[in-house]
């Protein structure tokens, strides 16, 4: 008990550190939740279009009206547009030539200048429907339909729409929860590894360990107390993020998928702790531990898909990522989201990922055993 | 004397492992992670063929025009990557996320999807087009009354002329912020230099101050050594990012070298202010320095690129006084703009920032005497 209470005493020093990470994480989670606002019904995506135009003819007016219904119009001066395009606030900038209407009606190579992010899906889509308007207008024009009729007809034509059957199972909240849990891997890893690593390095300092070894308390009993302390930290960290998860995504968490999220993150917390235990045992220098934690936590989060989704990462990056537990944790979360019915064959990929994460815990546990034996002999 | 202090100071700082880690190896590691994680983001934004399925039933086979349209969109225009399957396979493909949607032709054409997105919108738009052109032809028929009189113009003409700037990668600014962050990490050495020369901050400084060497001379040499080490580290990071990771910094090397030198001075002078701000230990001050630099880097868009834009548009003053943002913005303007106006205005702000920091430090430092410490 004396070892355990001492553990708790040292643990108190790290409260501020944990609070800092939790605050940073909470801020990021809020940003993520605000960003991911998907609709439960089908909604047409509207590209953001900026227009630079000086003409005021019937044709241009009708064309601009069409753009207004199909797109979000961005109004800025041209210098600001350049920055807006870089930051993807505008998908397409249209600059009408001075005599567009005349050129168009005479079929004299009418061209609107565009600026966009080259080949972006949103700009390609916008060009598609803008060309459509002009092509239909040109069809009427070459058949000598008058301007008024042309505008009247084209408005009728473009109102026709396809029937969409939208089978959304309301996965929006789940995918936000997915982001949340993927991102939490960074905080869980950083907190568990640093706190447990620092704790272990305090106890395993050569002079302190030698002093402890001559105490009447058996070596295994001391280690068990330390283990208990680490377990407490692990459960604490897991509980913290589960509570945060419930605060943000109550509905998603209280479902079959939510329970799987919790199980997955519990397994990951255990793995993170065993990693901290290992690092603390190998390295006794506290400054070195904080450097390693930063590199390992940030690095694995970046390449394993905690920050940038796995489907966007390159194949070679993912190959390296497989050597980190975060990869399997994140992959597990991604599988949990697409799980719609609880059936055995659908559960298989999730179980495999959870088992892989657990194997890492086992690996660190074994390495620890070997190192502790080695250390004992050395002392 | 100068060389004696200079060489020893250099040795002491270079042997400080944790400082060298934070100012050199940590940024190098971050740059590598950025590179690994972001290498595919730009190509992800680009349009790729959309996977769809068409239910190959009798109605689809009978609708010759639509069949032709889909064939041309799949084979010639490369908009769709189409599978012709039966209804059960189509449903399964959609459920397993293998396709974005499937098309079922019954009395009318139906599109089945399960998510919102640009791909789904494009599928809908293409089929809308089919209806809309049919409707237009009908209208012309009403006008002309006779089918043989209809002139069928080219319906795939392109009316747009692309004059875009190709250099518009959304991930380069992350690396620019990183350079800004590293310049500010020069503050580590600034804090150290002050701690080692101000008698009320460390015992070594107190001892040094009773030695017959001029304090200002010692401080200036310390700052010079700090500048040399930090600037070398910045250049190492810069070369790594430019030549090994191949991140595009534009083609203007001289302005970048001048900018980073000024950035380093700004960082060291900022560290000096932090060093003088309180009587805490060097660790506390380094902690303050790291958190402030992280916050400034966050505001300059290191974690979320959009933040820089949001702040510039909504709280422009905050963007103007943030040294990490000045460096990021100057590098961004060298990459994206054709003129140097924005670069010079940022460089000028950076010089003013350093000047203020140095002046304030000097005012705090001068003519200090202690009866006891």
Domain assignment present for residue A164? The answer is: no
pLDDT above 90: residue B31? yes
State the CB neighbour count (10 A cutoff) for residue A315.
Answer: 7
State the CB neighbour count (10 A cutoff) for residue B212.
Answer: 5
Contact A50/A95 with Cβ under 8 angstroms? no
Mapped to the 3 state alphabet, what secondary structure does chain B carry?
CHHHHHHHHHHHHHCCHHHHHHHHHHHHHHHHHHHHHHCCHHHHHECCCEEEEEECCHHHHHCHHHHHHHHHHHHCCCCEEEEEECHHHHHHHHHCCCCCEEEEECCCEEEEECCCCHHHHHHHHHHHHHHHHHHHHHHHHHHHCCHHHCCCCCCCCCCEEECCCCCCCCCHHHHHHHHHHHHHHCHHHHHHHHHCCCCCCCHHHHHHHHCCCCHHHHHHHHHHHHHHHHHHHHHHHHHHHHHHCCCCCCCCHHHHHHHHHHHHHHHHHHHHHHHHHCCCCHHHHHHHHHHHHHHHHHHCCCCCCHHHHHHHHHCHHHHHHCHHHHHHHHHHHHHHCCCCHHHHHHHHHHHHHHHHHHHHHHHHHCCCCCCCC
Q: Report the distance separating Cα A333 and Cα B323, nearest Å.
A: 39
Q: Is B366 left (phi over 0), alpha (psi -120 to 50) or beta?
A: beta
One pLDDT digit (tens) per residue for chain A, 379 residues = 788 888 888 888 888 878 887 887 788 777 766 665 555 677 788 999 999 988 888 899 999 999 999 999 999 888 889 899 999 999 999 999 988 999 898 888 888 999 998 888 999 999 999 999 999 999 888 888 888 888 889 888 888 888 888 876 656 677 788 888 998 898 899 889 888 988 888 888 888 888 888 888 888 888 888 888 998 999 999 998 899 888 888 877 888 888 999 999 999 999 999 999 888 888 878 888 888 888 899 899 999 998 888 988 888 899 999 999 999 999 999 988 877 666 667 788 899 999 999 999 999 989 988 888 887 777 6
Domain assignment present for residue B12? The answer is: yes
Q: What is the pLDDT of residue B369?
A: 74
Q: Which residue has the higher pLDDT, B91 or A175?
A: B91
Domain assignment present for residue B373? The answer is: no
For B139, the closest of A138, A153, A161 (CB atoms) is A153
A79/A191 same-domain check: no
A107/A181 same-domain check: no
A281/A241 same-domain check: yes
Contact B95/B102 with Cβ under 8 angstroms? no
Domain assignment present for residue A162? The answer is: no
B34/B54 same-domain check: no
Mean pLDDT of B243-270: 94
Inter-axis angle of helices B26-38 and B172-185, to 10 degrees? 170
Backbone φ and ψ for A309, nearest 5 degrees, come out as -55, 145
State both tokens at A47: 């590209």
A237/A350 same-domain check: yes
A229/A370 same-domain check: yes
Spatial CB neighbours of A139, under 8 Å, sequence gap ≥ 6: B133, B136, B137, B140, B152, B153, B155
Distance set, CA B39 to CA A297, B10, B170, B174, B304 (Å) = 20, 37, 11, 12, 16
B273/B125 same-domain check: no
Q: What is the pLDDT of residue A344?
A: 65
Locus of tokens 């697409």: A338
B143/B273 same-domain check: no
B35/B17 same-domain check: yes
Within 13 Å of residue A301, how many CA atoms lie on the same side as its CB?
A: 23
B12/B82 same-domain check: no
Domain assignment present for residue A24? The answer is: yes
B275/B346 same-domain check: yes
Residue from B124, B75, B117 nearest B102 by CA? B124
Among residues A124, A157, A190, the one where a domain terminates is A157
Contact B323/B330 with Cβ under 8 angstroms? no
Decide if A289 touches B, using CB distance below 8 A. no
pTM confidence score? 0.87
Domain assignment present for residue B164? The answer is: no
Q: Identify the burial level of B220 via C-beta atoms within 10 angstroms of its C-beta, where 0-12 means exposed, 13-18 middle and 19 or more buried.
A: middle
Cβ of A299 within 8 Å of Cβ of B160? The answer is no
State the CB neighbour count (10 A cutoff) for residue A93.
Answer: 24
B311/B346 same-domain check: yes
A52/A34 same-domain check: no
Q: What is the pLDDT of residue A62?
A: 92
B33/B139 same-domain check: no
For B309, the closest of A39, A83, A308 (CB atoms) is A83
Domain assignment present for residue B167? The answer is: no
pLDDT above 80: residue B260? yes
Rg of chain B on CA atoms, in Å? 31
Write the CATH number for B125.
3.40.190
pLDDT over 90 percentage in chain B: 50
Decide if B169 touches A, using CB distance below 8 A. no
Q: What is the pLDDT of residue A11?
A: 86
Among residues A157, A189, A215, the one where a domain terminates is A157
Q: What is the pLDDT of residue A257?
A: 86
Mapped to the 3 state alphabet, what secondary structure does chain A carry?
CHHHHHHHHHHHCCHHHHHHHHHHHHHHHHHHHHHCCCCCCCCCCCCEEEEECCCCCHHHHHHHHHHHHHCEEECCCHHHHHHHHHCCCCCEEEECCCCHHHHHHCCCCCCEEEEECCCEHHHHHHHHHHHHHHHHHHHHHHCCCCHHHHHHHHHHHCCCCCEEEECCCCCHHHHHHHHHHHHHHHHHHHHHHHHHHHHHHHHCCHHHHHHHHCCCCCHHHHHHHHHHHHHHHHHHHHHHHHHHHHHHCHHHHCCHHHHHHHHHHHHHHHHHHHHHHHHHHHCCCHHHHHHHHHHHHHHHHHHHCCCCCHHHCCHHHHHHHCCCHHHHHHHHHHHHHHCCCCCHHHHHHHHHHHHHHHHHHHHHHHHHHHHHHHHHHHC
Q: Report the distance separating Cα B257 and Cα B260, nearest Å.
A: 5
Q: What is the pLDDT of residue B185?
A: 94
Contact B109/B125 with Cβ under 8 angstroms? no
Residue from B12, B6, B14, B3 nearest B230 by CA? B14
Distance set, CA B202 to CA A318, A342, B151 (Å) = 48, 65, 91
Decide if B283 touches A, using CB distance below 8 A. no
Domain assignment present for residue B296? The answer is: yes
Shortest Cα distance, chain A CAs vs residue B175, angstroms: 14
Domain assignment present for residue B127? The answer is: yes
- What is the CA angle B192-B195-B200, rounded to 5? 175
Q: What is the pLDDT of residue A348?
A: 86
A122/A261 same-domain check: no
B142/B272 same-domain check: no
Rg of chain A on CA atoms, in Å? 30
Q: Tally the domains of chain A.
A: 2
State both tokens at A346: 């659908």
A29/A140 same-domain check: no
Decide if A154 touches B, using CB distance below 8 A. yes
State both tokens at B76: 């010639």
Cβ of A114 within 8 Å of Cβ of B113? The answer is no
A109/A190 same-domain check: no
Among residues A106, A126, A157, the one where a domain terminates is A157
Decide if B34 touches A, using CB distance below 8 A. yes
Mean per-residue pLDDT of chain B: 89
Decide if B298 touches A, using CB distance below 8 A. no
Interface size, chain A vs chain B, as Cβ–Cβ contacts under 8 Å: 221
Label residue B274 by pLDDT band (50, 70, 90). very high
Domain assignment present for residue A43? The answer is: no
Which residues of chain B have a CB within 8 Å of the CB of A131?
Answer: 156-160
- The answer to whether the Cα torsion of A196, A197, A202, A203 is positive or negative is positive
Q: What is the pLDDT of residue A361?
A: 93
Q: Tally the domains of chain B.
A: 2
Domain assignment present for residue B348? The answer is: yes
- A 133-152 residues with CB < 8 A to B: 134-136, 138-140, 142-143, 145, 149
Q: Provide the pairing of β-strand B101-105 with B109-113.
A: antiparallel
Write the CATH number for A90.
3.40.1710.10
Cβ of B120 within 8 Å of Cβ of A42? The answer is yes
Residue-wise pLDDT for B96-154, tens only, equals 788 999 999 988 889 999 888 889 999 999 889 888 988 988 888 888 777 666 777 77
B267/B187 same-domain check: yes
Domain assignment present for residue B168? The answer is: no
A153/A32 same-domain check: no
Spatial CB neighbours of A250, under 8 Å, sequence gap ≥ 6: none
State both tokens at B339: 């003129």
Compare all CA atoms of chain B with the CA of A80 and give the residue at the minimum distance.
Answer: B313
A366/A306 same-domain check: yes
Range of the structural domain that residue A65 is part of: 48-157
Domain assignment present for residue A299? The answer is: yes
Q: What is the pLDDT of residue A36?
A: 58
B206/B318 same-domain check: yes
Decide if B110 touches A, using CB distance below 8 A. yes
Which residues of chain B have a CB within 8 Å of the CB of A326?
Answer: none
Q: Report the distance separating Cα A66 and Cα A68, nearest Å.
A: 5
Range of the structural domain that residue B134 is part of: 47-149
B256/B335 same-domain check: yes
A248/A347 same-domain check: yes
- The answer to whether the Cα torsion of B201, B206, B207, B209 is positive or negative is positive
């Amino acid at each position: 008990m004396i070892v355990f209470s001492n553990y708790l005493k040292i643990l108190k020093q790290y409260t501020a550190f944990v609070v800092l990470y939790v605050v940073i994480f909470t801020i990021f989670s809020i940003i993520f939740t605000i960003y991911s606002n998907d609709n439960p019904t089908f909604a047409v995506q509207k590209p953001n279009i900026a227009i630079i135009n000086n003409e005021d003819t019937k044709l241009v007016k009708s064309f601009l009206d069409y753009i207004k219904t199909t797109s979000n119009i961005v109004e800025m001066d041209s210098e600001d547009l350049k920055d807006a395009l870089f930051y993807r606030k505008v998908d397409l900038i249209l600059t009408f030539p001075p005599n567009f209407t005349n050129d168009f009606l005479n079929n004299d190579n009418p061209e609107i200048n565009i600026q966009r992010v080259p080949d972006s899906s949103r700009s390609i889509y916008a060009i598609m429907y803008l060309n459509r308007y002009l092509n239909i207008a040109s069809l009427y024009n070459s058949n000598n339909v008058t301007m008024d009729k042309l505008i009247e007809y084209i408005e009728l034509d473009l109102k026709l729409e396809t029937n969409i059957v939208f089978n959304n199972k309301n996965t929006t909240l789940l995918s936000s929860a997915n982001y949340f849990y993927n991102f939490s891997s960074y905080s869980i890893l950083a907190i568990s590894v640093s706190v447990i690593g620092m704790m272990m390095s305090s106890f395993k300092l050569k002079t302190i360990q030698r002093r402890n070894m001559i105490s009447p308390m058996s070596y295994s009993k001391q280690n068990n107390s330390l283990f208990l302390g680490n377990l407490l930290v692990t459960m604490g960290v897991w509980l913290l993020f589960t509570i945060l998860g419930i605060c943000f995504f109550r509905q998603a968490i209280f479902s079959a998928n939510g329970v799987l999220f919790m199980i997955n993150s519990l397994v990951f917390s255990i793995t993170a702790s065993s990693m901290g235990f290992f690092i603390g045992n190998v390295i006794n220098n506290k400054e070195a531990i904080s450097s390693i934690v930063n590199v390992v936590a940030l690095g694995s989060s970046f390449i394993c898909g905690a920050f940038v989704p796995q489907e966007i990462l390159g194949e070679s990056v993912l190959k390296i990522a497989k050597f980190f537990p975060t990869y399997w944790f994140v992959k597990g979360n991604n599988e949990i989201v697409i799980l719609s019915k609880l059936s055995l064959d659908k559960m298989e990929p999730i179980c495999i990922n959870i088992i892989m994460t657990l194997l890492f815990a086992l690996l660190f546990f074994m390495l620890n055993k070997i190192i502790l034996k080695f250390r004992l002999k050395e002392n | 004397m100068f060389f004696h202090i200079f060489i020893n100071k250099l040795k002491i700082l270079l042997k400080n492992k944790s400082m060298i880690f934070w100012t050199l190896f940590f940024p190098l590691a971050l740059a590598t992670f950025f590179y690994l994680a972001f290498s595919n983001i730009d190509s992800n934004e680009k349009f790729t063929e959309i996977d769809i399925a068409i239910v190959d039933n009798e109605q689809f086979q009978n609708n010759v025009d639509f069949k032709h349209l889909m064939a041309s969109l799949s084979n010639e225009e490369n908009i769709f990557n189409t599978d012709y399957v039966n209804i059960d396979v189509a449903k399964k493909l959609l459920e397993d996320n293998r396709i974005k949607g499937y098309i079922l032709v019954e009395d009318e054409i139906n599109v089945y999807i399960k998510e919102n997105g640009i791909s789904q919108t494009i599928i809908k738009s293409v089929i809308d087009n089919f209806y809309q052109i049919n409707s237009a032809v009908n209208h012309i028929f009403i006008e002309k009354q006779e089918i043989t009189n209809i002139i069928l113009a080219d319906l795939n003409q392109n009316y747009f002329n692309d004059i875009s700037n190709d250099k518009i990668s959304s991930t380069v600014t992350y690396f620019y912020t990183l350079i800004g962050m590293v310049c500010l990490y020069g503050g580590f050495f600034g804090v150290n230099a002050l701690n080692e020369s101000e008698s009320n901050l460390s015992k070594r400084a107190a001892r040094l101050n009773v030695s017959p060497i001029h304090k200002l001379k010692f401080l200036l040499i310390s700052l010079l050594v700090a500048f040399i080490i930090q600037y070398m580290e910045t250049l190492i990071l810069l070369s790594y990012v430019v030549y090994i990771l191949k991140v595009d910094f534009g083609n203007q090397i001289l302005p970048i070298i001048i900018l980073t030198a000024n950035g380093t001075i700004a960082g060291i002078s900022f560290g000096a202010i932090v060093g003088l701000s309180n009587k805490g230990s060097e660790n506390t001050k380094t902690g303050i320095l790291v958190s402030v630099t992280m916050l400034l880097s966050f505001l300059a868009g290191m974690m979320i690129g959009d933040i820089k834009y949001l702040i510039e548009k909504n709280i422009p003053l905050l963007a103007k006084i943030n040294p990490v943002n000045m460096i990021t913005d100057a590098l961004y303007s060298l990459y994206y703009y054709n003129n140097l106006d924005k670069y010079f205005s940022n460089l000028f702000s950076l010089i003013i920032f350093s000047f203020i920091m140095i002046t304030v430090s000097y005012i705090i430092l001068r003519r200090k005497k202690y009866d006891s410490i």
